[in-house]
Amino acid sequence: MSALTVTDLTVHRGECPVVDRVSLSLTPGEVVGLIGPNGAGKTTLLRAILGLQSHIGQSDLAQMPRRERAKTVAWMPQTREIAWPVAVETLVLLGRVPHLAGGARPKPEDHAATAQALDNMGLTGFETRPATELSGGEQARVLIARVLAQDTPLILADEPIAGLDPAHQITTMQVFARLAAQGKTVLAALHDLGLAARHCTRLLLLDKGRLVADGAPKDVLTPEHLHSVFGIAAHLVETDHGLIFQPLELTR
């Protein structure tokens, strides 16, 4: 059974396709990294998969009724918006909105999910602080915690670890891995190819809106792909500590 199926997804901006006939299928237990240079169409692809963007082609998420979709997939947008100085706990509790019917008040299990999410992101002790007064990286962690609190089988995140310190980048990727081990699926747009190589079970490489490679990190981060898509050369080596990737120089 697949967690997400996308068939021939295309998004046009004017005449020009920014996402071009992308088909993919995710299975439960995967941590999938969506990589590609700036402007490759990563954000547009993710938004189209969610049905937030008008598109041609099929995504099974986009066809779901709103409420059901909100219980199936949690989405972390790239723009980290926190409009009001609400307490961290209140903000993370918003992730429970899809689980509250009508005007129902949060139940003990909603508070438990919130506490669990805060704990996962190392935010215990931050509960009552106004979220807008935290640093950028801390705000990002609060927003990831909100996504975790939504407790959905599928998580889509747009550059969730950008701007985090190394310890929290690793923590976040490990949380994703742990969720995947519980049978959930994570699809995250990433720019740090080193972290992507090390922590993802599978990579999708997007270039000019087309999906040019899909597979295990070592099969996607080949010298040919790195040259033709990113214009770089890199050192990629399989070690006892796992896959290690280090960009070296420009090739064009």
Q: Which of 22, 31, 40, 91 binds another protein (CB under 8 A)?
A: 91
Distances from the Cα of 52 to the Cα of 2, 23, 83, 114, angstroms? 21, 18, 20, 26
* Under rule CB under 8 A, residue 130 binds another protein: yes
Nearer to another protein, 73 or 205 (CB): 73
Rounded to an integer, what distance in angstroms lies between the CA atom of residue 47 and that of residue 144?
A: 17
CB of 73 to another protein, least distance (A): 7
H and E: helices and strands count for the chain: 9, 11
- For the CA atoms of 70, 72, 76, 81, the dihedral, rounded to the nearest 10 degrees, stands at 10
Give me the least distance between CB of 133 and another protein, in Å please. 11
Residue 139 is a binding residue for another protein (CB under 8 A): no
Our finding on whether 87 is near another protein (CB under 8 A) is yes
- The CA-atom distances, in angstroms, between 127 and each of 84, 108, 150 are 15, 16, 17
Q: By C-beta, is 145 or 243 nearer to another protein? A: 145
CB of 9 to another protein, least distance (A): 17
Query: By three-state DSSP, how is residue 101 classified?
Result: coil
Residues near another protein (CB under 8 A), total: 33
Judged by beta carbon, residue 68 or residue 119, the one nearer another protein is 68
When asked if residue 103 is in the footprint of another protein (CB under 8 A), the reply is yes
Distance from C-alpha of 140 to C-alpha of 35, rounded to nearest angstrom = 20
- H-helix segments, 94-165: 108-120, 136-149
* Residue from 186, 190, 183 nearest 205 by CA: 190
Report the residue from 4, 19, 24, 74 that binds another protein according to the rule CB under 8 A: 74
Residue span binding another protein (CB under 8 A) among the ranges 65-73, 168-176, 202-210, 244-252: 65-73
Binding of another protein by 248 (CB under 8 A):
no
CB atoms within 10 A of CB 221: 23
At 28, give phi and psi (nearest 5°): -60, 140
Is 94 one of the binding residues for another protein (CB under 8 A)? yes
Measured from the CB atom, is 97 or 250 closer to another protein? 97
Residue 180 to residue 194: CA distance in whole angstroms: 20
Encoded tokens for 218: 């070592």
Among 23, 27, 56, 85, interactor with another protein by CB under 8 A: 85
Using rule CB under 8 A, residue 135 touches another protein? no
Nearer to another protein, 130 or 247 (CB): 130
Among 1, 63, 81, 108, binds another protein (CB under 8 A): 81
Residues in contact with another protein by CB under 8 A are 47, 50, 52, 66-67, 69-71, 73-77, 79, 81-87, 90-91, 94-95, 97-98, 100, 103, 130, 143, 146, 150
